[in-house]
């Protein structure tokens, strides 16, 4: 036991110090007032989750509403979720199914929904702080769009929106609730500036700890048996190696040749797509 404690002395000291620091910080945080935002815009409805496509259970909707309420006060941004399962082409009288038409229609619907409902944490309109995720489950026009305004628009770059939509798209295939929860938490992480800390996923930390423990065992379990330390010359009497004959005679020489196959490579280009005429910031993903 003594050997055990002496071996892990430093590990336990680090652990203890960290635990104390965490405790002190937690206590200090509990004593000081929570950094909550006060809502400026009183015109928006209280509802945040509109599950017209009916992909969530009522319990899930309620959970999301509660989570959004909590997160909104922490970051001072409205977080809205809308799911639909309908043809926007019919609504807007579009006849050609092109990417541009698809993007325009989903953007238009999302922004109109946001603006007509007067969302925005501090104020209404395009300058109001907030975001809306629109998920259309329609078989032909299915896809996602995030519309954002105010400080959310300032914070999120196009690539951040694209990454966010990729994750939501993948998660929604198996579990829409998890996908939308991810959207809410992503908003919270980004807008609260705690992105790096929360990205330390406990499961990944668990795996890291398992791997390190396995490496620790593997490197310490190796039994040391001892190895050979003599060479072929250990017992050779000094200067006794004598070559009576040492001949290297060329007896044949031949040349072979081979044609080297060369291959030509091809390249591709990828382009971005931009939409014009929208009122808010945002990005879409079709599929």
Partner 1 sequence: MVFKCKNCGGNVVYNPERHKMHCPYCDSLESEQKETTGESLTTCINCGGPIEVNEFTSASQCPYCDNYIIFDERVTGEYTPHLIIPFVFSKERVKLLLRDKFKSCVFAPSDFLSEAKLNSMSGMYVPFWMYDYHVRGVFDGQGNKIRRWRSGNTEYTETSVYHIYRDMEVDFDKMPVDSSDAMPDATMDLMEPYDYKALEAFKEEYMSGFFAERYNQDALAGEPRAVDKAKKDAESILKQSISGYVGVHSALNNQVTLQRTDTNYALLPVWIYNYKYKGEDYRFHINGQTGKIIGKVPVAAKKVWGYGATVFASLFTIMMLVRQLLLMF
Report the interface residues with partner 1, using CB under 8 A. 3-4, 7-8, 11-12, 14-15, 18-19, 21-22, 25-26, 29, 194, 196-198, 200, 202, 205-206, 208-210, 212-214, 216-217, 220-221, 223-230, 232-237, 240-260, 262
Tokens of 177: 């609730």
**Cα 48 from Cα 81, distance rounded (Å):** 6
CB of 139 to partner 1, least distance (A): 41
Residue closer to partner 1 (CB basis): 167 or 198: 198
CA 37 to chain centre: 26
* Residue 280, number of CB atoms within 10 A of its CB: 23
Are the C-beta atoms of residues 120 and 129 closer than 8 Å to each other?
yes
Q: Residue 2 and residue 166: Cα distance in Å, rounded? A: 53
Measured from the CB atom, the residue of 139 and 243 that comes closer to partner 1 is 243
Shortest reach from residue 234's CB to partner 1, in Å: 5
Please say whether the beta carbons of 64 and 184 come within 8 A. Answer: yes
Minimum gap (Å) between residue 213 Cβ and partner 1: 4
Say how far apart CA 42 and CA 82 lie, in whole Å: 20
Q: How far is the CB of 186 from partner 1 (least distance, A)?
A: 15
Our CB check for partner 1 shows the closer of 100 and 214 to be: 214
Measured from the CB atom, the residue of 11 and 59 that comes closer to partner 1 is 11
The smaller minimum CB distance to partner 1, of residues 59 and 221, is found at 221
Q: How far is the CB of 235 from partner 1 (least distance, A)?
A: 5
Burial state string for 2-28 with b = 16 or more CB within 10 A and e = fewer than 16: eeeeeeeeeeeeeeeeeeeeeeeeeee
CB of 184 to partner 1, least distance (A): 17
User: What is the b/e burial string over 100-128, where b = at least 16 CB atoms within 10 angstroms of the residue's CB?
Assistant: ebbbbbbbbbbbebbbebbbbbbbbebeb
Provide the token pair at 61. 């909707």
> Among 187, 64, 169, 52, which Cα is nearest to 132's?
187
Q: How far is the CB of 187 from partner 1 (least distance, A)?
A: 16
**Residue 69 or 209 with smaller CB distance to partner 1:** 209
CA neighbor of 188 nearest in space, from 45, 282, 68, 60: 68
Q: Which is nearer to partner 1, 226 or 267 (CB)?
A: 226
For residues 98 and 230, which CB has a smaller minimum distance to partner 1 in the complex? 230
Contacting residues for 65 by C-beta, under 8 A, at least 6 apart: 47, 48, 49
Minimum CB–partner distance for residue 269 and partner 1 (Å): 30
């Amino acid at each position: 036991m003594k050997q055990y404690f002496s071996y892990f002395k430093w590990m336990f000291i680090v652990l203890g110090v960290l635990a104390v620091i965490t405790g002190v910080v937690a206590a200090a945080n509990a004593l000081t007032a929570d950094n909550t935002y006060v809502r400026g815009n009183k015109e928006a409805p209280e509802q945040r989750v509109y599950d017209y496509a009916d992909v969530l259970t009522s319990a899930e909707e309620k959970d999301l509403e509660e989570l959004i309420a909590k997160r909104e006060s922490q970051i001072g941004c409205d977080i809205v979720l809308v799911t639909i399962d309908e043809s926007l082409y019919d609504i807007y009288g579009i006849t050609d199914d092109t990417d541009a038409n698809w993007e325009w229609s989903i953007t238009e619907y999302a922004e109109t929904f946001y603006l007509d409902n007067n969302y925005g944490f501090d104020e209404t309109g395009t300058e109001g702080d907030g975001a809306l995720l629109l998920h259309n489950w329609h078989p032909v026009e299915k896809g996602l769009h995030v519309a954002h305004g105010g400080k959310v628009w300032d914070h999120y770059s196009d690539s951040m929106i694209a990454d966010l939509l990729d994750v939501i798209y993948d998660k929604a295939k198996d579990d829409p609730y998890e996908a939308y929860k991810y959207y809410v938490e992503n908003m919270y992480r980004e807008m609260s500036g705690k992105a790096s800390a929360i990205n330390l996923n406990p499961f990944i930390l668990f795996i890291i700890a398992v791997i390190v423990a396995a490496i620790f065992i593997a490197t310490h379990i190796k039994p040391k048996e001892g190895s050979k330390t003599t060479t072929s010359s250990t017992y050779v009497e000094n200067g006794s190696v004598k070559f009576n004959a040492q001949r290297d005679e060329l007896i044949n020489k031949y040349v072979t040749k081979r044609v080297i196959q060369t291959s030509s490579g091809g390249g591709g280009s990828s382009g971005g797509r931009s939409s014009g005429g929208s009122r808010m910031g945002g990005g879409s993903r079709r599929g």
